[in-house]
Structure 1
Amino acid sequence: MDFEKLTIDERKIIVGIDFGTTYSGIAWAETQRPDRRLPVTSWPVSKTIREGESSDKVPTKLRYNNNNIEWGFSIPMSAPTSEIIDWFKLDLEPTLTSPAGVMRNSAAREGRNVDKLVTDYISALGDHLMYTLKEKLGEGVVKSTPLEFVVTVPAIWTDRAKDKTKQACMRAAGLSTTKPLIHLISEPEAAAIYALHGLDPHGLKVGDSFVICDAGGGTVDLISYTITKLKPILEVTEATPGTGSLCGSTFLNMRFRNFLKAKLGNEEGFDDEVLAEAMEKFERTVKRQFTVNAPPDETYIIPVGGLANNKELGISRGRYSLKASDLQMIFEPVIQEVIKLVKDQISSSAVPISAVLLVGGFGASNYLKERLRSSIDKKIKIMQPPNAWLAVVHGAVMKGLAQCAPEKLTMVKVANRKARKHYGTEWRTRYDEKIHSHLREKKHWCGLDGCWKVYTMEWFIRKGDSVSENEPFLTSFVWTGPVTQGRIKKIKMDIYADRTPRDAPVARDDNVSLLCHVEADVSHIQENLLQRRKGNDGQWYYEMNCKIEAVYLSASTQYTLLYQNQRYNSVTAEYV
């Protein structure tokens, strides 16, 4: 394919940002060379310790040092642990509960605004990205080529947490200088696009279904897909609504930290610096090397410089020997949680599952793979695509390329997704004793139509429905208001969601929660174009027959108002 033939308006630089709980990654590509996706691997470093740190990702850590913001590898290793802010991504979604026995570490975050932390961190990422792009492409190219960002978010998050991420990106100094387009994509979907693109030899065929298990630092997200087409491009549809929970590898780190404090916390010389060095060794080496086949008495060396020799505790020459049996105890509760998620996803699927694809940093764990292997049906293949740690960020770039020029640059297409909940809005409807008897107390008189009315739910999507980016949902409604109260300037609508597994209810109850306020500015529509009607009570009313169009994307929703065949994009959605 001749990518040079892209039209001028299709020429862009696409940037994927994988903002993670423990590590974050950036990759980018030019639309003219879409097969060349380049991850950022060199990062600013603190002058004191590390020289020329090269890594596929950068730690998601901040430190406010007087007026300086230090981030990632630029935080000196000697910095007190109490000043380092990490795992703050989890605070965007406080509704998720942590696994049993694990406390979220938020000492350094207390009293800090999570939106500011996320904005500051993404600003730093954005500044470094712009520096990298100018270095690689030259300032002229970067200035003259539009940038588009695709930011990944956990699929299990609420719409509000996803929207908060997007808002932080829009505020981030490093990104906002170019006023670019920012799209959201769910992490498992991004991982699926990347993993499937490289899966040709694995013999998955049309009709086969598989689970993508994206096991990252904080969240584990699962989603099942069915292959519907192999040529000209691979096309899949979601087989079951996604699931997931907080049981990523961060929780292994927390369990290790708690274990070490309990074991060595009372030893003389054990302090933040010793703990930080031990954590680094666990994170970079031990956690990744541990396998199911390790004999129980095998040991892993953890540095504990400055601690006196203690044979009983296993400390010798500043090194602590961590037993495989202890490591298994640290791993198992978190692994069990992931196994349960995978088993539940397989059993809730309406179609037989042929394979489980493990992606994400934790997804690359040999221990997780082997434990999963021994826990599920032997007929199901377990695959770990190469480069699993970067699957999400590469998939984000591939999605961004496809959005720019769908015909030319789509490599893997997710044709349909499954709605995770019922979506709808509340309108007044004529009271009908046969249907609404349970709402009798709530009926009220309508002067315009001269009848009793009652508020009921109008569901435009039901849980499990197939939703496609190419097929918007339209909801018709009539907006009324007495002419005596002045012209209509804004049309407001509340969108509700019901996450429970039941059938969608007739009227709103305690399980139906407000998702967002959608507001359309119609003040620019000329007064004489607004329809009016005389009511049964003799008063004049505005009566506008409108439609709201909702397009459900991978991790966000776009709303448009339609009135008298005109499209009004002046619709804002504020998530609550």
Structure 2
Amino acid sequence: MSSLELIDRLGSLGLVPSHRIIVGVDYGTTYTGASYVSTKGKADLDNIVLISSWPGPTRDTEKILKTPSRIAYKVDNPQVSKQRWGYQVEPGMMAYSWTKLLLDENTPLTKYDDATLDDSSGTGILKLPKGKTAVDVVSNYLSEVYKHILKSIAKQITDEALSITPLEFWFTVPAIWSDQAQSATRTAAQRAGFGSRMGDHIFLISEPEAAAIAALKKYTTNSMGGSVKPGDGVLICDCGGGTVDITTYLVEATHPELIFEELCTGIGGKCGSTAVDRNLYQLMSDRFGDAFDSLPMRRKGPGSEFMKNFEVIKRDFGNSDEERIFELPINMTVEDPNPQHFDDEERMVIIHSDDLRSIFDPVVNQILSLVRQQMKDAVAEAGRGVINRVILAGGFGDSEYLREAFRKEFWSTDRVTVTVPDNPQAAIVQGAALRGLQGLRSTAKKCRRHYGTVIGIPFREGIDSEHDSYIDSFSGKKMVSGIMEWIIAKGEKYSDNHSCMVPFYRNHRDFYGLKFYEKLYSCDSNHDPERVDEPGSYPWSHITSSPSNTHLEGVRCVGSICTDLTGVDLGLFDYKYDSIGKVYRIEFELKVVFGAREGLLKFETICQGKVSGSTTIDFSTAKFY
């Protein structure tokens, strides 16, 4: 019985509160939001409370649904007495932003990613304080979010009631996230205090699935914009600050309950709204050179007055067909300035509508390319044009310029309805809470990548290289190493807690330890390579660098699984003697669980008919940008 089931059981006996509070947390690249709902009341979307008050003097209004994902440390800002976060970070402070993207350094850039991401650390944005890791910075930030969430809930139910009420935290993560990045997110949340109280738990849910839960729930209970019907194919395009995630769902039923499943393998890229910001920086650098490049980040980076003013322009762009001129104040000295681009007297950068289109279009085109590819994949899977609705979610989904591009691309040509939830920024955090409240989820998912391990097989003359051959010390047979044994294939359908059993054997001697290490590999390409070292693969565990903007689709190491069989009865295994001494043939099975409620890969080792010892994974820490 799991600890969560135990809490439920004790609750039914009246020994602990039977109700819980479900908390959705959307930690984003640029902004973070949260919601909560009690299981005591009606299990309804309308009962979810969106946290709409966040601390700090730089917020525009008293009611705001998200807070900036940035933190400023006292050591960098002597004028403050403690670390500042969110809206507490004032323009001019040295702060750390976009840190979420650094949690996924293990994933190489793809053709759908923002090519300038590789260079962003050079601009000082994707930057870490000396002596701190990305997990350290994220946990420092999330610790402040955690305290604010508890404070917000306590206002509603009192501190005393909160202290005895279990909390379920549902963290949203990009569906394109690597397993290492998901684990890093969970680790950062735990270090921040989430799940630290007795009875509290942390779960993960993909951002597009959370968006789908909220959007589909709304569109099946509210006919505005046309209700979703059984048989509809609904493409969710979650456009956030750092990532864009696209998943297509087939609606199977709407009454008496909503039932839907993933239609085809989702895709995505690191091409969110921060890519628009990076394009702005590139335009400024091209036009003003060192005058702009040499400015300290506090004058031009996230949270600066320059970028706060650009955020207003970015949100509003596309609301009018009128050609306009925009002004961005910045204290910059430009030699012999072009008056079309810079007002030297007023210290204003002058931006034209054409400039904004040049900044937006590369990012919008990347997103449209992702959607078109997903539509092709959906047709291939269903045998027909099944997608009849696109739902835009996420902060960037609120961009009128992006929405209009979608309408022109998909409504005018394919008659696909493009809709946006009434509050696209809140959809994800509402869906996360609904997942915990109602258990709503996709009944089946499509695996995003191949997963497997390396095995040895009998040597094949004329096929295998002698370089990879070896003699098995137990059987005496000639074998070949480096062959991939794929556990689950990309695109394979699976449901919650789908498990795969992988048989292993190891030759063991008395003077060896009984801890065994097996590397788990993944591959994002549609092709599943036969060998771990197929061209384009990176089978080793630790990579210190890689070429810029390389699109890698080979085999990559996810991490090293440690199976500790100390204490098993060696007398139950076959053995033989050779020139060295006794050698045992130890056989066991590795159980790999996909779709676990915790949101992470889970492992168990079955040896001699029972779960044996402990099984853990050490994720690889490669760096790709």
TM-score, with length taken from structure 1: 0.85
In the other structure, the counterpart of 1:404 is none
What is the DSSP-based 3-state SS (H/G/I as helix, E as strand, rest coil) of the residue aligned with 2:556? Answer: strand
Q: Does 1:465 align with 2:473?
A: no
Q: Paired residue for 1:199, among 219, 222, 225?
A: 219
Give the C-alpha shift of residue 237 in structure 1: 1.9
**CA–CA distance in structure 2, aligned partners of residues 271 and 536 of structure 1:** 70
Give the C-alpha shift of residue 186 in structure 1: 1.5
The answer to whether the 8 A contact 1:449-1:535 is kept is no
Q: Paired residue for 2:588, among 526, 540, 546?
A: 546
**CA–CA distance in structure 1, aligned partners of residues 194 and 503 of structure 2:** 41
Give the C-alpha shift of residue 130 in structure 1: 1.8
The answer to whether the 8 A contact 2:166-2:200 is kept is yes
What is the DSSP-based 3-state SS (H/G/I as helix, E as strand, rest coil) of the residue aligned with 2:431? Answer: helix
Q: Does 1:217 align with 2:226?
A: no
Cα 1:100–1:450 shift into 2, 3 Å: closer
Give the C-alpha shift of residue 300 in structure 1: 4.2
Give the C-alpha shift of residue 421 in structure 1: 1.9
Q: Does 1:375 align with 2:388?
A: no
Cα 1:63–1:507 shift into 2, 3 Å: closer
What amino acid maps onto 1:207 in structure 2? G
What amino acid maps onto 2:601 in structure 1? T
Cα 1:566–1:534 shift into 2, 3 Å: closer
**CA–CA distance in structure 2, aligned partners of residues 449 and 145 of structure 1:** 58
Identity %: 28
Q: Paired residue for 1:59, among 68, 75, 78?
A: 68
Q: Which runs of 5+ in 1 are unaligned?
A: 402-408
**CA–CA distance in structure 2, aligned partners of residues 314 and 76 of structure 1:** 26
Could you say which structure has the higher strand fraction? 1
Q: Paired residue for 2:120, among 92, 104, 107?
A: 104
In the other structure, the counterpart of 2:525 is 500
Cα 1:213–1:28 shift into 2, 3 Å: same
The answer to whether the 8 A contact 1:88-1:114 is kept is yes
Q: Does 1:280 align with 2:308?
A: yes
In the other structure, the counterpart of 1:13 is 21
What amino acid maps onto 2:317 in structure 1? F
The answer to whether the 8 A contact 2:474-2:576 is kept is yes
Give the C-alpha shift of residue 145 in structure 1: 1.7
What amino acid maps onto 2:322 in structure 1? P
What is the DSSP-based 3-state SS (H/G/I as helix, E as strand, rest coil) of the residue aligned with 1:394? Answer: helix
CA displacement 1:272-302 (0-9 Å, x = unmatched): 777522321221x322222164222x34454
Stretch deviating more after TM superposition (173-182 or 37-46):
173-182
Cα 1:507–1:250 shift into 2, 3 Å: closer
What amino acid maps onto 1:287 in structure 2? K
The answer to whether the 8 A contact 1:422-1:504 is kept is no
**CA–CA distance in structure 1, aligned partners of residues 558 and 593 of structure 2:** 15
**CA–CA distance in structure 2, aligned partners of residues 50 and 206 of structure 1:** 42
What is the DSSP-based 3-state SS (H/G/I as helix, E as strand, rest coil) of the residue aligned with 2:498? Answer: coil
What amino acid maps onto 1:123 in structure 2? S
Q: Paired residue for 2:183, among 163, 171, 176?
A: 163
Give the C-alpha shift of residue 52 in structure 1: 7.3
Give the C-alpha shift of residue 359 in structure 1: 0.5
What is the DSSP-based 3-state SS (H/G/I as helix, E as strand, rest coil) of the residue aligned with 1:104? Answer: helix
CA displacement 1:436-464 (0-9 Å, x = unmatched): 83144433223323433333332211121
**CA–CA distance in structure 1, aligned partners of residues 65 and 87 of structure 2:** 12
Give the C-alpha shift of residue 26 in structure 1: 1.2
The answer to whether the 8 A contact 2:529-2:555 is kept is no
Give the C-alpha shift of residue 6 in structure 1: 8.1
The answer to whether the 8 A contact 1:23-1:60 is kept is yes
**CA–CA distance in structure 2, aligned partners of residues 422 and 457 of structure 1:** 11
Give the C-alpha shift of residue 307 in structure 1: 10
CA displacement 1:529-554 (0-9 Å, x = unmatched): x6222326495444444322222127
Cα 1:569–1:9 shift into 2, 3 Å: farther
Stretch deviating more after TM superposition (217-226 or 26-35):
26-35
What is the DSSP-based 3-state SS (H/G/I as helix, E as strand, rest coil) of the residue aligned with 2:154? Answer: helix
Stretch deviating more after TM superposition (564-573 or 380-389):
564-573
CA displacement 1:187-244 (0-9 Å, x = unmatched): 1111111111111233433332222110011111111111223333222222221211
Q: Which runs of 5+ in 2 are unaligned?
A: 1-7, 76-80, 538-553, 621-625
**CA–CA distance in structure 1, aligned partners of residues 262 and 286 of structure 2:** 45
The answer to whether the 8 A contact 1:124-1:174 is kept is no
Report the aligned-residue RMSD: 3.3
In the other structure, the counterpart of 1:453 is 479
What is the DSSP-based 3-state SS (H/G/I as helix, E as strand, rest coil) of the residue aligned with 1:505? Answer: coil
Matches within 5 A, 1:357-376: 357-376=391-410
CA displacement 1:96-132 (0-9 Å, x = unmatched): 5452456425526254522211111111111211222
Stretch deviating more after TM superposition (496-505 or 177-186):
177-186
Q: Does 1:438 align with 2:464?
A: yes
Give the C-alpha shift of residue 25 in structure 1: 0.9
Q: Paired residue for 1:88, among 95, 99, 108?
A: 99
CA displacement 1:378-399 (0-9 Å, x = unmatched): 3211111221111111111222
What amino acid maps onto 2:594 in structure 1? Y
What amino acid maps onto 1:535 in structure 2? K
**CA–CA distance in structure 2, aligned partners of residues 44 and 186 of structure 1:** 27
- How many residues matched? 550
TM-score, with length taken from structure 2: 0.79
